[in-house]
């Protein structure tokens, strides 16, 4: 297994086909799932690291290359980023290996004529890595922050305006090493029992910070190989999301609608609270994603979930629910530490369009809530316009609803993803 060649193919898939990084990495790892665990860990670390640090890496490369990075051929651009990341951020990799292996890959893929260029740039970076200068200016300056934390300047400026006192901690939080948060299916097993089962397999498992269904795990291989996964003992879900469902106070016998449900994390969390007494109508606009919901529902062992394909902006006549869950499409600024593509693909116009979409869906689904019922609105973003701004707009337009509770989690400050939820009660 040539780990670096696999990483190069991952980066080229992202670069030339606009594939999402998590999809490209997962696809590559699935092909080598029976290979050496250490090699697969190297693949993940290097591929994710390059994507996490693109702006930083390009800034450094441009200091030592006569040809600016955006003028390089895609494969050479990926090789330079890979090599530079290994030199600057992977202490266990000798600089010579980072340079030599990059040269070999250039030749292997038909760019022998540019192998000397690749070698020269990377060796120059390696020789001067202790003296690479950072951008001038105050550490709170958006240009400095953009390079240091590999966040586009416009987004740095927005985050700084929105969270002037917490801005740097939020950016630093995007680089935290994160344990995987899993939700225990307490209809099948207790949290203590699952913790022991997982720990006995040599996997580190600790109790969560915010929810009594949560475990935080690390030092595992594939999630599907963890003891209890196939038996439906747990699901992957961030604690912040668990807190949102708990806040909705779902009880056995409730009728629940989940309007943007894929891949089914909140739907199955609701099912656990219902204890098979009550019904969940789980909907999503994507036919393909409905299979994910069905897979999770079946694995966890619930038979009170009705799954359908539906556009949440289009009203459905004659349906109502005690609780409506609207976990809506958003900018994802709370999870850019997990999904590195978001910060490079997003722009301000898209955020404005998302706000309009969210309001359109809230307008529609609020009509499904019975008197005395609950509307749970949530996002995985920390953008106030999509969160508190939308709730303020909604409550002013729909006077029959009152805000019962809302909560914002910030990455880098709270021990979870950035996330927002608001619980609103219909009079």
Distances (CA, A) of 217 to 20, 188, 238: 25, 19, 12
Is 7 within 8 Å of 90 (Cβ atoms)?
no
Rg (CA), the chain: 23
Neighbours of 337 (CB within 10 A): 22
Neighbours of 299 (CB within 10 A): 19
Is 256 within 8 Å of 278 (Cβ atoms)?
yes
- Phi/psi-derived region of residue 318, left when phi > 0, alpha when psi is between -120 and 50, beta in every other case: left
- DSSP codes of every residue in 287-350: HHHHHHHHHHHHHHT---EEEEE--TTS--TT--EEEEEEE-----TTSTTT-THHHHH--HHH
Residue with tokens 């002013």: 396
Residue with tokens 């693909």: 345
Report the C-alpha gap between 11 and 13 in whole angstroms: 5
Beta bridge partners of 369: 321
| DSSP H or E segment with residue 258 | strand 255-258
Residue with tokens 């979930």: 305
Active site residue 380: yes
Give me the catalytic one of 72, 99, 380, 416.
Answer: 380
DSSP 8-state secondary structure symbol assigned to residue 71 = G
The SS3 call for residue 415 is coil
**Residues that are catalytic:** 380
């Amino acid at each position: 297994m040539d780990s670096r060649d696999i990483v190069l193919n991952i980066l080229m898939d992202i670069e030339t086909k606009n594939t999402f990084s998590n999809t490209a990495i997962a696809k590559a790892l699935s092909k080598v799932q029976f290979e050496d665990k250490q090699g697969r860990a190297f693949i993940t670390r290097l591929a994710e690291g390059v994507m996490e640090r693109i702006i930083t890496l390009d800034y450094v490369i441009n200091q030592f290359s006569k040809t600016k990075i955006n003028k390089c051929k895609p494969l050479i651009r990926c090789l330079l980023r890979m090599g530079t990341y290994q030199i600057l951020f992977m202490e266990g990799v000798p600089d010579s290996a980072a340079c030599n292996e990059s040269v070999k890959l250039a030749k292997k893929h038909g760019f022998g004529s540019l192998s000397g260029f690749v070698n020269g740039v990377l060796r120059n970076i390696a020789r001067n890595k202790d003296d690479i200068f950072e951008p001038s200016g105050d550490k709170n300056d958006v240009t400095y922050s953009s390079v240091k934390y590999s966040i586009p300047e416009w987004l740095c400026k927005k985050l700084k305006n929105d969270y002037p006192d917490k801005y740097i901690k939020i950016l630093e939080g995007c680089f935290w090493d994160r344990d995987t948060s899993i939700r225990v299916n307490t209809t099948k097993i207790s949290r203590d029992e699952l913790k022991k089962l997982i720990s006995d397999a040599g996997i580190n498992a600790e109790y969560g910070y915010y929810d009594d269904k949560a475990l935080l795990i690390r030092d595992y291989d594939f999630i599907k190989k963890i003891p209890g996964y196939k038996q439906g003992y747990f699901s992957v879900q961030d604690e912040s999301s668990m807190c949102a469902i708990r806040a909705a106070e779902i009880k056995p016998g409730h009728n629940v609608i989940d309007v943007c449900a894929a891949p089914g994390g909140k739907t199955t969390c609701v099912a656990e609270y219902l204890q098979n007494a009550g019904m969940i109508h789980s909907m999503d606009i994507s036919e393909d994603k409905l299979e994910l919901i069905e897979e999770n529902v079946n694995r966890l062992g619930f038979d009170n979930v009705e799954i359908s394909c539906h556009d949440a902006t289009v009203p459905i006549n004659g349906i109502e629910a005690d609780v409506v869950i609207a976990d809506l499409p958003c900018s994802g600024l709370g999870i850019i530490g997990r999904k590195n593509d978001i910060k490079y693909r997003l722009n301000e116009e898209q955020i404005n369009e998302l706000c309009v979409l969210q309001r359109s869906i809230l307008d529609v689904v609020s009509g499904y809530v019975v008197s005395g019922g609950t509307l749970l609105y949530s996002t995985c973003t920390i953008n106030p316009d999509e969160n508190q701004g939308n709730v303020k707009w909604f409550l002013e337009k729909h006077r029959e609803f009152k805000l019962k509770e809302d909560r914002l989690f910030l990455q880098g400050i709270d021990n979870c993803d950035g996330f927002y939820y608001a619980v609103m009660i219909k009079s």
